[in-house]
Chain A
Amino acid sequence: TQLLEQSPQFLSIQEGENLTVYCNSSSVFSSLQWYRQEPGEGPVLLVTVVTGGEVKKLKRLTFQFGDARKDSSLHITAAQPGDTGLYLCVGEAGANNLFFGTGTRLTVIP
């Protein structure tokens, strides 16, 4: 399984700060999903984006799919300690053909 490049790999910020995580690839995806994973648990689906240029908001989280459907970003506004975890992007290129991101480990310090 090829990897999507995620950046940054590690991020430690203070509570209340904003942050953006990027997910880039040279491949075109039919859809892209963002997950959050906490220690000892499996990944939890946050959002699926399917249309180039699409923007979805989930409370303080904003997800954007690139116009060419090769990249995506996750922006968190006013981060809270509960946002701490591993954020993972997964691109789908055709039926059952998945590309996993390298993951971004976020720590929000109270």
Chain B
Amino acid sequence: SQTIHQWPATLVQPVGSPLSLECTVEGTSNPNLYWYRQAAGRGLQLLFYSVGIGQISSEVPQNLSASRPQDRQFILSSKKLLLSDSGFYLCAWSPNRDSMVLFGEGSRLTVL
């Protein structure tokens, strides 16, 4: 069966520090991968999606970047965190573009 893991689950970082959230999917190959963010009281916002290694599409301009160094690994990064980067970040995957998106457990980021 397929599983998705992301870590860390909780992160508290000072303003200006770097960020790295990692996500891996097991039990499948060449998945579509996504990063979402939900800020408190707001809806899910798609940040990045990837259809293959090294292929990243950004949905919104922001202080964050994403990379896909391996087929089943998706990384969300920032060189310098802002207060507004605080939120709940979700990694997700789908087998192909015609399938539903399945979510990881999420990472809570607090920037102080």
Contacts and interface: CB of A to CB of B under 8 A. Distances in A.
Interface of A: 1, 31, 33, 35, 37, 39-43, 45, 48, 86, 90, 92, 95-98, 100, 103, 105
A25 to B, nearest CB: 17
A67 B77 CA distance: 41
State the 10 A-B residue pairs at the shortest beta-carbon distance, nearest first.
Answer: A45-B43, A40-B97, A96-B88, A96-B108, A1-B105, A39-B98, A42-B46, A95-B40, A40-B98, A86-B100
Interface of B: 34, 36, 38, 40-41, 43-44, 46, 49, 86-88, 90, 92, 94, 96-101, 103, 105-106, 108-110
A89 to B, nearest CB: 12
A39 B40 contact: no
Given A31-B41, A42-B36, A43-B44, A97 B108 contact: yes
Contacts of A40: 94, 96-99
Nearest to A48: B43
A35 B97 contact: no
A79 B103 CA distance: 27
A96 B44 contact: no
A39 B44 contact: no
A46 to B, nearest CB: 9
Contacts of B44: 35, 42-43, 45, 90
Contacts of B90: 98
Given A40-B97, A42-B36, A100 B103 contact: yes
Contacts of A90: 44
Nearest to A90: B44
B87 A96 contact: yes
Contact of B100 (A31, A39, A97): A39
Nearest to B37: A96
Contacts of A41: 101
Given A39-B97, A39-B99, A40-B97, A96 B40 contact: yes
Contact of A98 (B38, B100, B101, B109): B38
